[in-house]
Amino acid sequence: MTLTITKIAENLAAGRCSSRELVDDVLARIKTHAVLNAFITLDEEAARRHAEAADRARRAGGAGILAGVPIAHKDIFCTAGVKTTCASRMLADFVPPYDATVVRKMKAAGCIMVGKTNMDEFAMGSSNETSHFGPVRNPWDRDRVPGGSSGGSAAAVAGRLVPAATGTDTGGSIRQPAALCGITGLKPSYGRVSRYGLVAFASSLDQAGPMAQTAEDCAHLLAAMAGFDEHDATSLDVPVPDYAAQLGGDLKGLRIGVVAEHFADGVEPKVAEALREALREYERQGARLVDVSLPNSAHAVPCYYVLAPAEASSNLARYDGVRYGFRAPEYQDIEDMYKKTRSQGFGPEVKRRIMVGTYALSAGYYDAYYVKALRLRRLIADDFARAFERCDILAGPVSPSTAFPLGAKNTDPVSMYLNDIFTIPINLAGLPALSLPAGFAGGLPVGLQLVGRYLDEARLLNAAHRFQQATDWHTRVPAGF
């Protein structure tokens, strides 16, 4: 399954293959490479049934580009009749009665869901090691992490198990695993894609987006999943552009802001060199590099790790063993049931963030921590606004390093959190950003991050597409896949 969505659509339209054959191939590849642990649940029978329906629809005429294309959903999206676990013991047996809006829209576009991908528990993690179902392994080196929290989706696409997958991004959870696995991942502007049916981590930061081999594929996927949703008060009632139709535009005169703070100490030298070479490619295509500064970005990590845990502590209060989900098997009274259910149902990282968030929101500390973090969030957003007065997009690293070994940072939460130092500011500002393959360092993928103005996903996708037309980093496949 090394074909892009665009090529798959061409083959389906020409009758060179059927959707049923594609689904059978995908399911076989997932089982062959089960060592990656990229999937929690497969929905084989339904996938084959929907594929046959897609083949019939295509023969009848009028099928869109995504019709019959097999994809995977991160296991944080509610899927009617199919387990949605959030990679947690708390929801290990939860079967939703409805589809998330993203799932529903992808179905309407003709996509075939083959299964649900592994992830960090409740999307809390940067390495996909906090999952109740075990860690995901990076296809480029199975002893290394794929990144998180959308690590299962990234590994599945990088290993060519599926041509595309959905992810969610709260502080970098699409872009960071996309970078570490060598694929393209897009975090849209906050509000561009509905969050209805997406199990909440931090509601003011969470955003769903596509993960695929190319920017062109992401353009098709974003067009299908974006748009206003009456079920989500934060979704925007604005037109959704035809992103694919806007690809291929000239880059001459494009002003690319190079963030000084993002190329300072802390970025591995080989990673920085790969990114500088990527920027030279943009210059060869006529873009102009502009030095910009985001002075408050250094404070983004502590700001985020007050705000996100605070929202998480509120969102996760619903998991108490009363209504749905895991309940402790033995308890003395209702208070004991609450305590045992939550202590047994949540993993260490989730409990850590609940405790931090509850502390930040408690009487006496709300003003000292939470309110100050909100003010700092405003300053970070203002930095981006000033930077965009001088440039059209921003460019820099996604992660300070390539994929690190499994277990290397499990005993040092702060070190783990710093993996998202370059991605978190974008979520705090609500801006769109993507990661695209830009080279290798020590045999492992390096991702270039492009950041755009609010709702300017089309410009980002075009810039990434033009880069991919001139390079072949996105076509590289891990050995054995």
154, 167 in Cβ contact below 8 A?
yes
The conformation of residue 190, written as its DSSP 8-state character, comes to T
Catalytic residue among 18, 19, 74, 126: 74
Per-residue HEC secondary structure of 218-252 comes to HHHHHHHHECCCCCCCCCCCCCCCCCHHHCCCCCC
Residues 128/177, Cβ–Cβ less than 8 Å: yes
Contact call for residues 196 and 101 (beta carbons, < 8 A): yes
d(CA 159, CA 177): 13
CA pair distance 433, 3, nearest whole angstrom: 24
Looking at 18, 127, 131, 149, which residue is catalytic?
Answer: 149
Length of the chain: 481
Q: Please report, to the nearest 10 degrees, the dihedral formed by the alpha carbons of residues 473, 422, 269, 403 taken in order.
A: -60
- Residue 201: Cβ-neighbour burial (10 angstroms; 0-12, 13-18, 19+): buried
- Residue 138, beta-bridge partner list: 141
Per-position DSSP letters for 346-377, written without gaps between them: S-HHHHHHHHHHHHHHSTTTIIIIIIHHHHHH
d(CA 454, CA 392): 11
Q: Among the options 126, 150, 173, 297, which is catalytic?
A: 173
Residues 6+ positions from 359 with CB-CB distance below 8 Å: 365, 369
> Exposed/middle/buried for 328, CB within 10 Å: 0-12, 13-18, 19+?
middle
Place of tokens 């705090």: 428
- Distance (Å, whole) CA 378 – CA 171: 16
Helix (H) or strand (E) holding 32: helix 19-32
Which token pair is 348?
A: 């260490």
Tokens (6 digits) for 416: 């783990």
SS (H, E, C) 452-472: ECCCCHHHHHHHHHHHHHHCC
DSSP state of 451: E
Q: What is the rounded distance in angstroms from the CA atom of residue 183 to the CA atom of residue 211?
A: 7
Catalytic annotation on 173? yes
- Positions annotated as catalytic residues are 74, 149, 173
